[in-house]
Amino acid sequence: MRMAHTMIRVRDLDASIGFYCGFLGLKEVRRGTIGDEATLVFLTDEREGYHLELTYNHDGRDYQLGSQFGHLAFHVDELAPVVAEIERRGWWFRRSKPESRSSYVFVRDPDGYDVEILEKVGI
């Protein structure tokens, strides 16, 4: 058994790809459609071991994010340039406290999903 992907529904594919590829550095590796209903886009990192699937439904439906789902997390080698880029873009963010064991920042993707960016290399 292998972990394969996490699927999230999104409202604006270009905005999501701008966030996950343009800002975070994922790459698109596959795109498909389910008839006229939906577009599915698979993103991954340079290891290509796990994927993020974006589902865009064409009917313009809206969604409720709810309070149950947690977040998606990403590792970077250096957090400081990421925080500088977030500040340059004027996004909301929440940083780890100086006394925290790990150094991270939380931002929100275009659909409001919480995204954690971690400097510490580990889990």
Least distance to a copy of itself from the beta carbon of 53, Å?
Answer: 7
Among 35, 36, 60, 66, indicate the residue that binds a copy of itself (CB under 8 A): 66
- Answer whether 67's CB lies under 8 Å from 113's CB: no
Q: How far apart are CA 11 and CA 111, in angstroms?
A: 7
Nearest to 47 by CA among 68, 25, 63: 25
Among 47, 59, 60, 92, indicate the residue that binds a copy of itself (CB under 8 A): 47
Question: Interface with a copy of itself includes 67 (CB under 8 A)?
Answer: yes
Q: How far apart are CA 76 and CA 98, in angstroms?
A: 18
Among 13, 39, 55, 86, indicate the residue that binds a copy of itself (CB under 8 A): 55
Rounded to the nearest 10°, the torsion over CA 84, 86, 90, 92 is -130
Question: Interface with a copy of itself includes 3 (CB under 8 A)?
Answer: yes
Query: Does 85 qualify as catalytic in the annotation?
Result: no
- Taking the least distance from each CB to a copy of itself, the nearer of 2 and 88 is 2
- Answer whether 119's CB lies under 8 Å from 102's CB: yes
Nearest to 117 by CA among 26, 11, 8, 16: 26
Question: Interface with a copy of itself includes 76 (CB under 8 A)?
Answer: yes
Please report, as ranges, the residues that interact with a copy of itself according to CB under 8 A. Answer: 1-9, 24-26, 29-30, 42, 44-47, 49-53, 55, 63-76, 111-113, 116, 118, 123
Active-site positions read 116
